[in-house]
Chain A
Amino acid sequence: MSSEQQPTGNSRTGDEYPTDASPDSEVPNEATSISRRRLLSGAGAIGTAFIFGKSTELAAQTEQSSPILDPSSDTSKVLGTPGTELGQRSPHEKISRFLRPGRPWTSGTPHEDLMGTITPSDLHFERHHSGVPAIDPAKYALLIHGMVDRPSVFSLDNLKHFPSVTSVHFLECAGNYPSRPDENTRPSRVAPLLSNSEWTGVPLRILLEEVGVDPDASWLIAEGQDAVKMNRSIPIEKAWDDAMIAYGQNGEPLRPEQGYPARLFNPGWEGNTSIKWLRRIEVTKQPSMTREETVRYSEYTKGNKIRQFSFVMDARSLITSPGYPETIRPGFVQIQGIAWSGRGKISQVEISVDNRKTWQPAILQEPVLSKSCTRFHFPWQWDGEPAVIWSRAKDETGYRQPSLDEHKASRDGRRGYHTNFTVGWNVGADGEVAYYPQEDWKT
């Protein structure tokens, strides 16, 4: 069968995001076009000052504006503000998730504004299908029933009295790639629906053992108490691996948009399986074949087949700097970003500064944790010539992040969920950095 004859499961007319996103992308495009020139004018001036900073004339100007010599910027002669109940970011730091008009059920993590590996909880991406429910923790109940010896109800307090575990893991939506990136696409817009947190909760296995599971049971149907009663079928093996009922995130209770007061968390798996606002687990012999595991979160693969229960998130990397809309100057440039794999630990991140002719290993910042974001650094001496920089990740199973061509070949040219190919950043002779467009998708 020729490709032209195949059904176009990814036709833009057939899904929730038909106007400007592929059906399997849950990532908003840029909402507004900010004037690149305006953004860059300030950065350019700073760069110029650095390069020629030693000239006598400019040194004199610098002296006049020196914070060291400016009494008004000396805070050491007045009392500071007292302690507060709730800390706030510096008023000088304007950092936020990004929204998109007309797309109320998602917000993205601003990766280029962050450092390290932990996503501050208030910047963790959001993806829900019908809004954030307001749940009173005193009225929270988790029902476990089905093929169990003792159908049971657990309160939030009950959950917190079971043995707990804490571990750091990323959470990534399966549809985490923009439908139509262009040169003005920022790093965060390439993978906005990814965040990394320290999660605390009770291992799901312990809860199942507590209610007594029928040895013939194979699946768990997890369901939330949001307005779509989001539900997914989970193989029971995941409970005996690392699934947990999480009630803590980064040292505090879950944020409402992350499933308060308790959620399922499946490390390394597509985000939709980690049911938020969890209210029910039914233990069964067979999957429920819910809308979210048939119509959504499935993808065309080779031979006109549709892959289902594609749980694991494959290895991926993202350069967070330099990227659009930065301007760099010749000399030392620290290339840095994050890499992650749902299969385990990141074993290597490679950087190319010559548009993929050669690759060199980046430095991995410890600790490198399983199914967690790893920060990488690469010291680059930029000679001022145009360049295209790339990153690619490899994990401990030997899996290497694919190129776009490899990715397309594995799916007969279609895109869809679980998009994880390598992306590049174009550096012009003027130091301006732009996304390197490479897509040519079958629609």
Chain B
Amino acid sequence: MKSPAQLLPKAKIIVAGSGLLFAASFSLGQEAITGSTPEDRIVVTTDQDVAIGIHPGTIEDLHDYRSNPERRSATYNLGRAATEEEISAWDIGVSPDGQGLPAGSGDSKRGAALYALHCAACHGQEGEGIPPNGALVSDGNNGKTIGSYWPYPTTVFDYIRRAMPFGTPGSLSDQEVYSITAFLLYRNDLITEDTVIDANNLPGIKMPNADKFTPDDRESYNYVH
């Protein structure tokens, strides 16, 4: 049997909160073998290939590709080179480690005014949500709010910049997105009112729910799991 490291050599570098993402399905699978399950229930395998739904054989080709630099030359000569300008025009993604976060900063006081102007009509003055739009701010027991559910602070910035305000996405400056992000993090008791957030400190803000996230291991079992 192959080790997870062999099959998914980069699994270990997945960021905090879901570290060893796929290796975790291994230990869970082995756990189930020793459990008292009905006779018609079996753990299909603890093989990593199956755990992430990849057909054996095709994964071998990926290994071959990775170990053979000669396979990295172009075959069909279709398409053209992308320019740096094109890439930067579309490359808006933000990673949990902060990669992709732009220059600039924001704080909750500026964010409060921006939120009232751009967000409150759909999400409520206090972030309580206006059906069918869910709450953004936790009041202790109101579902998937930023404070109660979201595992990464960078996702807040990314999603606001990517998709909000609804109907006019892209209309806010990066500075404004930082401030609205700060306001929402502050209202969820994740930062203080005076905290100025930027590319350096946003990724490190602790999200209370992050450690609950676990990798999918359903395909290690042939029954609902």
Question: Which of A's residues lie within 8 Å of B, judged by CB?
Answer: 7-19, 23, 102-103, 129-130, 143-145, 149-155, 158, 161-162, 206, 209-213, 215-218, 221, 223, 227-229, 231, 235-238, 240-242, 268-269, 279-280, 282, 284-291, 294-295, 298, 301, 304-312, 314, 342-343, 397-400, 402, 406-407, 410, 420-421
Q: What residues of A have a CB within 8 angstroms of the CB of B65 in the complex?
A: 209, 213, 215, 240
Bound together, the chains give a CA A241 to CA B79 distance in angstroms of: 23
Interface centre among B66, B80, B144, B166 (most CB of A within 10 A): B144
Q: What residues of A have a CB within 8 angstroms of the CB of B215 in the complex?
A: 307-309
**What is the distance, in angstroms, from A264's C-beta to the closest C-beta of chain B?**
15
Q: Cβ of B222 and Cβ of A7 under 8 Å apart? A: no
Bound together, the chains give a CA A421 to CA B223 distance in angstroms of: 11
Bound together, the chains give a CA A295 to CA B146 distance in angstroms of: 8
Bound together, the chains give a CA A150 to CA B87 distance in angstroms of: 12
Of the A-B pairs whose beta carbons lie under 8 Å apart in the complex, a sample of 29, sorted by A's number, is A8-B143, A11-B142, A14-B144, A130-B169, A143-B87, A152-B80, A153-B79, A212-B72, A216-B9, A218-B13, A231-B162, A237-B62, A240-B65, A279-B90, A282-B93, A286-B14, A286-B15, A288-B94, A289-B15, A289-B151, A290-B155, A291-B155, A294-B213, A305-B213, A311-B216, A314-B224, A398-B44, A398-B222, A400-B223
Q: What residues of B have a CB within 8 angstroms of the CB of A221 in the complex?
A: 93
Bound together, the chains give a CA A223 to CA B158 distance in angstroms of: 13
Q: Cβ of B155 and Cβ of A294 under 8 Å apart? A: yes
Q: Cβ of B53 and Cβ of A298 under 8 Å apart? A: no
Look across to chain B and name the residue whose beta carbon is closest to the beta carbon of A153: B82
Bound together, the chains give a CA A162 to CA B151 distance in angstroms of: 39
Q: What residues of A have a CB within 8 angstroms of the CB of B2 in the complex?
A: none
In-complex Cβ contact of A288 among B8, B75, B93, B218 (8 A): B93
Q: What residues of B have a CB within 8 angstroms of the CB of A15 in the complex?
A: 134, 143-144
Look across to chain A and name the residue whose beta carbon is closest to the beta carbon of B212: A306
- Interface of chain A, main secondary structure: loop
Q: What residues of B have a CB within 8 angstroms of the CB of A10 in the complex?
A: 143
Look across to chain A and name the residue whose beta carbon is closest to the beta carbon of B167: A227
Which of the candidate stretches B103-111, B112-120, B125-133, B183-191 sits at the interface with the other chain? B125-133
Bound together, the chains give a CA A407 to CA B225 distance in angstroms of: 8
Interface residues on B, range: 35 or more
Q: What residues of A have a CB within 8 angstroms of the CB of B26 in the complex?
A: none
Bound together, the chains give a CA A154 to CA B200 distance in angstroms of: 35
Q: What residues of B have a CB within 8 angstroms of the CB of A241 in the complex?
A: 53-55, 58-59
Q: What residues of B have a CB within 8 angstroms of the CB of A19 in the complex?
A: 131-132
**What is the distance, in angstroms, from A328's C-beta to the closest C-beta of chain B?**
31
Q: Cβ of B216 and Cβ of A307 under 8 Å apart? A: yes
Interface members, chain B 141-168 (any A CB < 8 Å): 141-145, 148-152, 154-155, 158-159, 162-163, 166-167
Q: Cβ of B158 and Cβ of A14 under 8 Å apart? A: no
Look across to chain B and name the residue whose beta carbon is closest to the beta carbon of A221: B93
Q: What residues of B have a CB within 8 angstroms of the CB of A130 in the complex?
A: 163, 166, 169
Bound together, the chains give a CA A332 to CA B75 distance in angstroms of: 59
- Interface of chain B, main secondary structure: loop
Q: Cβ of B53 and Cβ of A268 under 8 Å apart? A: yes
Q: Cβ of B143 and Cβ of A13 under 8 Å apart? A: yes
**Given pairs A16-B134, A102-B132, A294-B151, 7 additional interface contacts (CB within 8 A):** A145-B82, A158-B79, A162-B78, A215-B66, A215-B67, A240-B61, A306-B213
Q: What residues of B have a CB within 8 angstroms of the CB of A309 in the complex?
A: 21, 215-216
Q: Cβ of B72 and Cβ of A149 under 8 Å apart? A: yes
Q: What residues of B have a CB within 8 angstroms of the CB of A154 in the complex?
A: 78-79
Bound together, the chains give a CA A87 to CA B31 distance in angstroms of: 57
Q: What residues of A have a CB within 8 angstroms of the CB of B53 in the complex?
A: 238, 241, 268-269, 311-312, 342-343
**What is the distance, in angstroms, from A133's C-beta to the closest C-beta of chain B?**
12
Q: Cβ of B91 and Cβ of A145 under 8 Å apart? A: yes
Q: Cβ of B81 and Cβ of A150 under 8 Å apart? A: yes
Interface members, chain B 64-100 (any A CB < 8 Å): 65-67, 71-76, 78-82, 86-87, 90-97
Bound together, the chains give a CA A223 to CA B93 distance in angstroms of: 9
Q: What residues of A have a CB within 8 angstroms of the CB of B121 in the complex?
A: none
Q: Cβ of A227 and Cβ of B163 under 8 Å apart? A: yes
Q: Cβ of A308 and Cβ of B144 under 8 Å apart? A: no
Q: What residues of A have a CB within 8 angstroms of the CB of B222 in the complex?
A: 397-400
Q: What residues of B have a CB within 8 angstroms of the CB of A150 in the complex?
A: 74, 81
Look across to chain B and name the residue whose beta carbon is closest to the beta carbon of A12: B143
